[in-house]
Every structure is written in structure tokens, then in C-alpha cells.
Amino acid sequence: MSSFSVRHRLSGVLAATLLLSTPALADWVGDLRVKSAPLPGQKGAAPETKGKMFGRPGMLRMDLAPAEVPGGMSIIFDWEKRTGTTLFHAKKAATSRSLDDLSVKIPGTCVGKAQDFDACFKEQGFKKVGTEKVNGHPTVVYEGVPPGAEDSIQRQKVWRPTDLPEVAYVRSQTFGKDGKVQADIEVTNIKMGAQPASLFTVPSGYEELDATSAAPPIMGSFKPEDFKGKTPEQIQEMIRQRMGQQGTPPAKTK
């Protein structure tokens, strides 16, 4: 696989997980599978990245193992602190960014013991379009556009499990402006139960890097205006170019 196609796959993963970074309402763990759109003219099945998703009240962790990130990477969302942290395990490095600095409005309305995901989706403008059994769960299907993503995607489709009220979705699809699926996220084998607190913190010994220049650009290195008015293809190309830059990210100055 060429470095170009690998970077294309990862950019789709990043965009999809960021748009669906909704906080958990309880502790749980599930298997994560993300399929991103193939390159133009590419034949065969859509590229796929596998991993794990961990939920904790007000927090979420995604473990991913894309081919171009040796040792894998994790993204931790903390809605109380309003931060997103990316861990690069092979380099024992971490970058952090405020969720409020991102172009897409990361929801805060789902946080709180009295909150429920159905109310959260509706508040963000999603509409119920049907019901369906997906990945072994009865679901309510919602469609809409996350606030702040109007210029980059056509719509998003979310399958909300009615038998797991603490879990936001068991499947999600993101459609580009051309109407084609840009990313397909599935969460399977979900198990409710306490998760180690250590999963949601930066491990001891990890060096904190400058998010404005760290690569690959997960939670940082882009400003809101960088995404404004761009198509999904333009955003992916921008991410590919940034990821293609050589050099080791500098340590964060204290």
C-alpha cells in the first residue's frame, strides 16, 4: 500500500471519529471498526481500521491501530475539562487540545447524569428517520449535520441502541457533499462494566508535545478557519499534506 493511500485512510478515520465524539454516560467497552472511503478509482473493499472504544461518564477513549502509526494511537475525550488528548504509544508522546478550539462543535449537552442521548441528538438538529436492528441491537436511526460541519459534509446517520441507553451509537455513517459514504463506524461486542481509570489519563512517562506542530494532526495543528468552506476531499488533502511533512514534533515548552 502506498503512503498516499495509507494517509487517505487515516484522514477518513480522524474525521469520522471527531464528528461522533459523544461522551459516554456509563462505563463500557466495545470493538471499533472504521471503514473510510477508497481513493478515486480504487477498486475493492473500503479500507478498514480496527480498534477499541471505552466509555466512562463524561469521557470517551478510542484505540486505533492504523498501519502508519507504529504501536497504535489513542484519542481521549474529557468533557468536564473540554479537552481532546492523542497518545502515540510507540513514541510515548501525547498532544492535547481544547475541544472548544475545533471547527466542529463538540457537544457538551450530553454531559450530566440527567441527560440522555436522544435529547442530545435532537438538540443538535438530528431527526428520527426510522428504526432498525444493527449489530444485534434494536436502534433508533437519526440523521442530521453536527453543528459546525455544514460546509464539509452532507449529513450523518446514527444508529442509537435502545437497549443500551448509556451508549450513543452502534453504527454511524458520514456522507460527503457528493452523497457518498466517507466513513462508516461500527461498535460491536459492547460490554457494560467498570473500566480502569488509567485508560482515561496520559500514562506516566509520556512526553507532552506541542499540538500545533505534532504529526499526525489529530486534535491539533489546525485552526477553525482552515476547514471553513472546504469539501471533504479538500479537508482530506489538507490532512494528507500535513501528515506528509517530515520531522519529529518538538516537545512542548514549559
Residues 9-49 have pLDDT tens digits of: 444 455 555 555 566 778 999 999 988 776 555 566 666 78
| Residue 174 or 136, more confident | 136
Tens digit of each residue's pLDDT (9 = 90 or more) over 219-238:
344 555 665 666 655 665 56
Upstream peptide bond of 249 is cis (omega within 30 degrees of 0):
no
**Would you state the pLDDT for residue 209?**
83
Contacting residues for 108 by C-beta, under 8 A, at least 6 apart: 79, 82
What are the sequence ranges of the domains in the chain? 3-109+181-243
| Buried b / exposed e along 192-205 (16+ C-beta atoms within 10 A) | eeebeeebbebeee
Choose the CATH number for 3-109+181-243 among 1.25.40, 3.30.1330, 2.60.40, 2.50.20.
2.50.20
Mean pLDDT (the chain) is 74
Percent helix, strand, coil in the chain, to 5, is 20, 35, 45
Give me Rg for the CA atoms of the chain: 17
pLDDT per position as a tens digit, 107-135: 444 554 446 778 878 877 889 999 999 99
d(CA 32, CA 55): 12
Measured distance CA(66)–CA(27) in Å, rounded: 25
How many angstroms separate the CA atoms of 14 and 217, rounded?
Answer: 9
Rounded to an integer, the average pLDDT of 172-193 is 89
Cell numbers that stand for 150 in this block: 455544514
| Nearest partner of 157 among 147, 145, 168, judged by Cα | 145
pLDDT of amino acid 146? 75
Q: Which residue has the cell 512542548?
A: 252
Would you say residue 243 has pLDDT above 70? no
Q: Got the DSSP string for 52-68? A: EEEEEBTEEEEEE--TT
- Higher pLDDT: 73 or 247? It is 73
Residues sharing a CB contact under 8 Å with residue 120, sequence separation 6 or more, in sequence order: 22, 107, 109, 110, 168
SS3 219: coil
Quote the CA–CA distance of 120 and 108 in Å, as a whole number.
9
